[in-house]
């Protein structure tokens, strides 16, 4: 009997993925756990194994298609068997009968957080028709998504023919599909700016002594095959500052209306790849030496560029750092890696003229830009955090441990 294999939830928060390539074709015989396809989801490419043995009767998506969790990916059965057509997303299969939805709560009695209300508005879902599954009948994000999926497909009107030209009124254009890393980045950035209240605080650290210390330690690191950049020192300083200002090492639970303060330090490191931005996470960074941090950063960056990161490498972050200055720049307003509370952009380290005791001196300085969620922390606390971060960077001896 033909069996439909639906695209599974391959990780926390995953809702969809792009079919990068099929490893099988219709008519092929497959074994249990044999890889069927490579799917890019949440900035990582994963192989999807078969849960069944048999013949590939139908591949329901083409390469470059977007497949959502719960949609039928492939039908597997006996050779010569005719597969049934997969039901549209959110609709029952041909032989199944839809389950009547429970009676919805009366208008005016809707219990939902502002985030859930914004989600419902964006999806066109009337919260008055949704029964909440949360505490006290509160409507959750899953309830809204479920209500959206139950709406008849007929409501979604699509043009029969869509013509895409290669020119506009002014001249020729190129159309580049929003896919893969760029698509995931776009969605996460849009979610962040539409949810968190972004504010950016700018400051500067004198890293003259830190530069000297790094130069002294580079040879020892290179002998171990480690490239010692400034970033491990920055991570050490950030962790020390987070210890004094724990609200920056937190997330906001909109559903429960609670601030979740993390007692561990998992630092996300933004990596620039050809088609977007990937943020692997250095786990338990507070437990690692400077050389261990440098090694982790190097390994994660190489894996990100080779697209060999595991999904686990992208999760669990508590605070992120983006080293914009590795390319260029004096200032930036980085977007928070939601649901984290803050992100630090380190800019270009350079010799700059600064006044000290009434005299102009050349100092090696590091511009710092901290974006934070003003719903969780205030500007004064951000200024204190940056003050302490600068203190640790300007007295770097303890960072070398």
Q: How many CA atoms lie within 13 A of 264 on its CB side?
A: 11
- What is the C-alpha to C-alpha distance for residues 63 and 44, in angstroms, rounded to an integer? 16
For residue 117, give the nearest of 127, 108, 109 by alpha carbon. 127
Q: Tell me the fold of 3-77.
A: OB fold (Dihydrolipoamide Acetyltransferase, E2P) (2.40.50)
Please give the distance of CA 53 from its chain centroid, rounded to a whole number.
Answer: 34
Compute the C-alpha angle 204/188/110, nearest 5°: 115
Strand pairing report for 342-346 and 319-322: parallel
Domain ranges of the chain: 3-77, 114-155, 192-400
pLDDT of residue 93: 43
For the domain made up of 192-400, the CATH class stated in words is alpha beta
Amino acid 69: pLDDT = 86
Q: Say what the pLDDT of residue 168 is.
A: 81
Task: Quote the pLDDT of residue 152.
Answer: 59
What local confidence, expressed as pLDDT, does residue 103 receive? 42
pLDDT at residue 160, as a whole number: 55
Greatest Cα pair distance, the chain, in angstroms, is: 88
Spatial separation of the C-alpha atoms in residues 110 and 143, rounded to whole Å = 12
C-alpha 150/C-alpha 34 separation (Å) is 33
381: nearest Cα among 355, 345, 342: 342
Domain 114-155 fold is Dihydrolipoamide Transferase (4.10.320)
Q: Check whether the bond before 107 is cis (ω within 30° of 0).
A: no
Give the DSSP letter string of 109-136: -----HHHHHHHHHHT--GGG----SGG
- End-to-end CA distance of the chain: give it in Å, rounded: 63
Buried b (16+ CB within 10 A) or exposed e, 18-29: bbbebebeeeee
* pTM (two decimals): 0.69
Angle, CA of 281, 282 and 286, to the nearest 5° = 135
Q: List per-block mean pLDDT (blocks of 10 residues) for the chain, which spans 401 residues.
A: 84 76 92 89 78 92 89 90 60 42 48 79 83 80 80 54 75 84 82 92 97 94 93 97 98 91 97 86 96 96 89 92 92 95 97 94 96 96 98 93 75
CB contact set of 361 (below 8 Å; sequence gap of 6+) = 353, 354, 355
What is 330-391 written as a DSSP string? S---PPP-TTBSEEEEE---EEEEEEETTEEEEEEEEEEEEEEETTTS-HHHHHHHHHHHHH
60 is a catalytic site residue: no
Alpha carbon separation from 47 to 9, 146, 364 (Å, rounded): 13, 27, 47
Q: What is the pLDDT of residue 244?
A: 98
């Amino acid at each position: 009997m033909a069996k439909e294999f639906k695209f599974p939830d391959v990780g926390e928060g995953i809702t969809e993925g792009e079919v990068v390539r099929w490893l099988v074709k219709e008519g092929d015989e497959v074994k249990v756990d044999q890889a069927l396809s490579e799917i890019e989801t949440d900035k990582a490419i994963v192989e999807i194994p078969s849960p069944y043995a048999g013949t590939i009767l139908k591949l329901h998506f083409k390469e470059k298609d977007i497949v959502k969790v719960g949609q039928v990916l492939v039908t597997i059965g006996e050779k010569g068997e005719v597969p049934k057509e997969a039901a549209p997303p959110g609709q029952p299969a041909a032989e199944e009968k839809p389950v009547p939805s429970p009676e919805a709560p009366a208008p005016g009695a809707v219990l939902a957080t502002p985030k859930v209300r914004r989600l419902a508005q964006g999806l066109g879902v009337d919260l008055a028709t949704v029964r909440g599954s949360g505490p006290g009948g509160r409507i959750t994000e899953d309830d809204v998504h479920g209500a959206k999926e139950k709406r008849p497909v007929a409501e979604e009107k699509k043009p029969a023919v869509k013509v895409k030209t290669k020119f506009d009124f002014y001249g020729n254009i190129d159309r580049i599909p929003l896919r893969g890393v760029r698509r995931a980045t776009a969605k996460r950035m849009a979610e962040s700016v539409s949810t968190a209240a972004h504010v950016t605080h700018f400051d500067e650290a004198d890293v003259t002594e830190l530069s000297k210390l790094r130069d002294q330690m580079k040879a020892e690191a290179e002998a171990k095959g480690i490239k010692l950049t400034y970033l491990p020192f920055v991570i050490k300083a950030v962790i020390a500052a987070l210890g004094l200002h724990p609200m920056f090492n937190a997330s906001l639970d909109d559903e429960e209306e609670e601030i979740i303060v993390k007692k561990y330090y998992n630092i996300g490191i933004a990596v620039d790849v050809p088609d977007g931005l990937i943020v692997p996470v250095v786990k338990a960074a507070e437990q690692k030496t400077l050389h261990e941090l440098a090694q982790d950063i190097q390994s994660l960056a190489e894996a990100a560029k080779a697209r060999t990161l595991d999904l686990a490498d992208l999760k669990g972050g508590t605070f992120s750092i983006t080293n914009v200055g590795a390319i260029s720049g004096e200032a930036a307003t980085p977007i928070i890696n939601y649901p984290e509370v803050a992100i630090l952009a380190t800019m270009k380290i350079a010799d700059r003229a600064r006044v000290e005791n009434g005299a102009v001196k050349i100092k090696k300085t590091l511009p710092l830009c901290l974006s934070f969620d003003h719903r969780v922390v205030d500007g004064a606390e951000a200024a204190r955090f940056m003050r302490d971060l600068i203190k640790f960077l300007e007295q770097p001896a303890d960072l070398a441990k």
